[in-house]
Amino acid sequence: MFRLKQVSKRRSFMKRAIAQLDDPSQIASHRPPQRIPSWLAKTPAGRQEQLEHFRTTKSRIRDEIRLNRDLPSSLRRREEDIKISPADVDAVIGKDKLKVIRPPYNVQYMCDFHSDVILAYAVFRKKNDTGTLIPLIQKTQLIIGEVLKKVPADGGYCSLLELKGCIEMDVELFAPVPERKGSKGRQTDSGQVQITADEFAWQESSCSLRCPAGHLMRQVSRSKDPRAEGRQVIELRFEQNESRCASCELAARCLAPGFRRRTARRLEDQSLMDAQKEKMEGEAGVASDRQRKMRIERRYGDGKRHRGGSELHGRGLSRSTAETGLMVVAQNCLTLYLLVKRARTKQI
């Protein structure tokens, strides 16, 4: 896994090494390397292929840096942290399930809730599940030729943008709402835990917030909050009067250290997330989450444990997708065989 400076250094060295070993007539041979390292390929064809890998890696890192500079400051990474593996330029660098930093791919399944058959699969160049749900639903509906009615998933797929996308496609999403950052509250000057933003009541009629003391808060800004892949949501910021906070009996628990007034943020369509949270706390949501853990998660476990899916053997997105497809075929064949065998046993 190399940074841009490391890739440029190795690429320059390889050009001089190839000029010395394979084509001494090149200009680069005027500065021949003093020592041939062990990582350099042993044959002329191997060295040319290795050089091409580093050329592609340098181009890909430059593209990543260019995209990173266009991101908002809150999502921007340090350019020194942008790395790519020359052995697999399609993969992103991140931690896998075992917290090992390596170039992984993100494999996604859409499974039938009752038969365990994998209806569709996809391999993404991603470190997390953000933005994978809607494309997978669209691919599944294209394959089966019908509209999905319900989709169970874990909390990693439940965001406001995914929820709105499911509503537009008339798909009911059963996924728990993850906790927001800062939802547990900070410690105030009095040593108590701060009242969280979840305790502020939303007034639908006036589109305002009411603080726990019963006072309305005025909206002071409406801004675009960036999300991954160039997406964005609208964030509303509310503020209480400084004089009202000073005389409030809850000020010791409400105000953060160094602040004289309370502010709170809320997404413009946060009511959709509130309704989702209420649904998942109900009987249908609890039952769906329990069944998902028992049935859908088992498909991933079976692939990793018994089919070698914990690591992909082909490099590149196309080969990784092909390998995943073959593994899905094997899993589905075994699943259908067991379903037929079980049905025949019941008839007997």
What SS3 state is found at 95? strand
Measuring CA to CA, which residue among 267, 243, 264 is closest to residue 254? 264
What residues does 236 pair with on adjacent strands? 222, 266
**N-to-C CA span, the chain:** 58
Q: And the tokens for 161?
A: 């943008």
* Confidence (pLDDT) at 142: 93
Query: How far is residue 52's CA from residue 49's CA, in Å, rounded to a whole number?
Result: 5
* Confidence (pLDDT) at 30: 62
123 secondary structure, DSSP code? E
Q: And the tokens for 198?
A: 């979840």
Q: What is the pLDDT along the chain (348 residues), one digit of tens a residue?
A: 888 899 988 888 888 888 888 776 666 556 667 788 888 888 989 989 888 989 999 998 998 888 888 877 777 888 888 888 888 888 888 887 788 888 888 899 999 888 889 999 999 988 888 889 999 999 999 999 988 999 999 888 888 999 999 999 999 999 998 887 655 667 777 778 888 888 888 888 788 888 888 888 888 888 888 887 778 889 899 998 888 888 888 888 888 888 888 888 888 888 899 899 999 999 998 998 888 888 888 888 888 888 877 788 888 889 999 999 999 999 999 999 999 998 888 776
* Confidence (pLDDT) at 279: 92
Domain residue ranges in the chain: 4-81, 101-178+277-347, 197-268
* Confidence (pLDDT) at 184: 64
Q: Please give the distance of CA 305 from its chain centroid, rounded to a whole number.
A: 23
CA distances from 127 to 130, 233, 319 (A): 9, 21, 18
Q: And the tokens for 115?
A: 């038969």
In sequence order, the 6+-apart residues with CB closer than 8 A to the CB of 164 are 269, 272
* Confidence (pLDDT) at 229: 73
* Confidence (pLDDT) at 26: 64
Q: And the tokens for 62?
A: 């430059």
Q: To which CATH superfamily is domain 101-178+277-347 assigned?
A: Ribonuclease H-like superfamily/Ribonuclease H (3.30.420.10)
Q: Are strands 101-102 and 94-95 parallel, antiparallel or unpaired?
A: antiparallel
* Confidence (pLDDT) at 27: 61
What stretches of the chain adopt beta strand conformation (E)? Answer: 94-95, 101-102, 106-111, 118-124, 150-152, 172-174, 201-203, 208-210, 216-226, 232-239, 263-267
